Amino acid sequence: MLRLLRINECSKKNRNIGAALLFFIFGLLFFVLAVRFITIQYTGEVKGQALAAKASQMYLRTDVLKAKRGTIYDREGEVIAEDSASYTLIAVLDETVTADPEHPNHVVDPEKTARELSEHIPLSEQEIYELLTKKERKQVEFGPAGRDLSHRVKEEIEKLKLPGIGFIKDTKRFYPNGIFASHLIGYAQREQADGKPSEIVGKAGLEQSYNKMLTGKDGSLTYKGDVWNYILPNSKKQIKEPKNGNDIYLTIDKKIQTFLEDAMNKVDRKYSPDRILAVVADPKTGAILGMGQRPTYHPVTREGIEKTWHNEVVESSFEPGSTMKIFSLAASVEEGVFNPNATFPSGKYYINKKQPPIKDHNQGRGWGPITYLEGVQRSSNVGFAYLLEKMGTDTWREYMDKFKFGQKTGIALPNEASGKILYDWPIEKVTSVFGQGTTVTSMQMIQAASAIANDGKMMKPYVVDKIVDPATGDVTETKPEVSGQPLSPKSAKEVRDILETVITSDNGTGNQFYQLDGYSVAGKTGTAQIAAPGGGYLQGRENYIFSFLGMAPKDNPKLLMYVVVEKPKLKQDENGALPVSEIFKPVMKSSLQYLNIEPEKKKEAVIIELPDLTEMNARQASAHLKEKGLVPVLLGSGEKVLAHSPKHGDTVIEGERVIIKTDGKLSIPDMAGWSKRDVLKVAKLAELKVNMVGNGYLTKQNIKPKSQVSPGDQLVANFASQADIMEKKKSENDKTDEEAPLD
């Protein structure tokens, strides 16, 4: 018993000690908490951080105020590229967001929702249903099919009143003209970098090269809000305004670009060429008014971009062919070595005995001795080889530098090519004058040709007219810049006059293709060979780069245009200049009319009354007729004028032939291309018996030119219509020498 009492007393004592220990511990903790509470109350800080600030941050909300990407306009202020509102379709699958079952906020009927949505977005009913039944997802989007939706589509879907279906508002880049200078403008698309908000980024063309200027700087809206992000009462808002991107105004004219796009579309459909390049420019300033290529792509869908994403007008170089003769002609005129009436032996030109000759495009047959003017009209490679001899290879090389071939133009577009001048070997020096071996870009050709059109001053091409800051209104303008003066005004005018005859002369390679009603055109055709991958050149009548570089009106050119068509699919009776002309002619004429360039008045025919030429000797009569603008043709080698047709007192029109019979031995002239009336004049004065076959213009005579004739001889003259003559010429041109360019 005593032992039990001792055990109880010991246990009671231990409990008292434990209770005292616990009291002490809890008392200490209470003291620490009390001190901590009083300290926080007094200082308002925890670990050096203000509690008031922390509390404020819990309610602080920040929203991004998106900056607007700059708009791209044409030179008249028409929109080419701009930001527009777009919507992303979403579906809420989380049932917990619905507080009232009678007004659900989530998708309750996936089958019905899938069926009705499939009629408004490009996804099948089954694909939509699978997205709407993903149990592990609380919210889903619909991929590309549900992004960039227009306001119209959004409204149509909202009318369906489908529970759980909503939209997120966004912006997208909009190109209202569709395919429109696509490689020049480029495109922009929304991208998201790691940890950063998504933004629209330029990926090609001007959208890419001017991306920094077009991209604005986002602003922000800071406020205090509750857990549902509603603004708390009396909350102050802090707004940092966004800075919108700069607007860019181009030199491109929407009307002219539309003319160009339409013409290229037609030629592309009709001839299926490998490539089309075309540029329209103002030669007085260097402003590019139109630029395009085929194949092309749609800037929104990017359909077709896999065929070529390069802006080939500035990024691709090629052998230009005979359009280069414009500049070798200009150099020879400026150097004073071009005499239009001097002659050269056409057909073949030998650099040395070891190499094959340079040949004219009619398989090296040539046209006999012809004048240099006719050589330009016929696009004789041989004639230009002789011109190179006259001016010297060093001089021509200097002019290529003056025209800035082999150098970038400096146009504000990415990845510009410089081309390459091959000028090491004698053959390369000769072929460079007619555009073989040396490579150029389309933009270089436009820049160089501006010197011809602009009285010797060569203008640097540009595509950006001005850049405008929408916030301040500050404007940065591009001023026209002279990039050189390779020619004098006099030489430039003479070159234009010569190039006009390429279009107007019966011998001209551009005669049947590039004449414009109401406007005079100066220009040059080109047919360049295409280098083969294994060396040499491609063979076949279609394997060429056909081109034309022209300006109008000739005396004061307002527009300059370069068109290139590579490897068109031609019918047997079609010439490669045909698809080129089907772009040049409608675009040039429509553009001149759109710019209100008055058509040129046709010169009135000058009527001349013939004097009595028998009172003069043959030389005096010939000189007098030339002075009056008539064409004298002498029959006989004597000095005394016996008769002439038309006779004394008759009226004739400027440019008409006057046949003069002298007292010398009579010889028949070359009457190719003459009318029946002129042939009869010769037959009557020479007292010949004449038998005329056909109608139109003389194509064949039985008496060879310069053969002596006597009264009573028989002259058989064959005639054909102008159309038949041109068709024959075309057939002959199609049988080209595979070793040389066509013109």
Catalytic residues: 322
Q: What is the Cβ-side half-sphere exposure of residue 631, based on CA atoms within 13 angstroms?
A: 6
Helix locations, 365-473, DSSP H: 372-377, 381-391, 393-402, 426-432, 442-453
Distance (Å, rounded) from C-alpha 198 to C-alpha 206? 21
CA-CA distance, 677 to 653, in Å (whole number)? 14
- Rounded-to-integer distance, Cα 682 and Cα 671, Å: 9
Longest Cα pair distance anywhere in the chain, in angstroms? 182
Alpha-helical segments (H) within 676-742: 676-685, 722-734
Of the CA atoms within 13 Å of residue 107, those in its CB half-sphere come to 27
Q: Are 78 and 89 in contact (CB under 8 A)?
A: no
Closest CA to 428 of 441, 440, 438, 418: 438
Residue 230 exposed, middle or buried by CB count within 10 Å (0-12, 13-18, 19+) = exposed
Location of structure tokens 């949505």: 117
One-letter identity of residue 333: V
d(CA 121, CA 149): 9
With contact defined as beta carbons under 8 Å apart, do 89 and 139 qualify?
no
* The residue count for the chain: 743
* Assigned token pair, 171: 């912006």
CB-based contact 129:110 (threshold 8 Å): yes
Beginning with the edge strand found earlier in the chain, give each strand of the sheet holding 238-240 in spatial order: 60-65, 219-224, 238-240
Rounded Cα–Cα distance for residues 87 and 146 (Å): 8
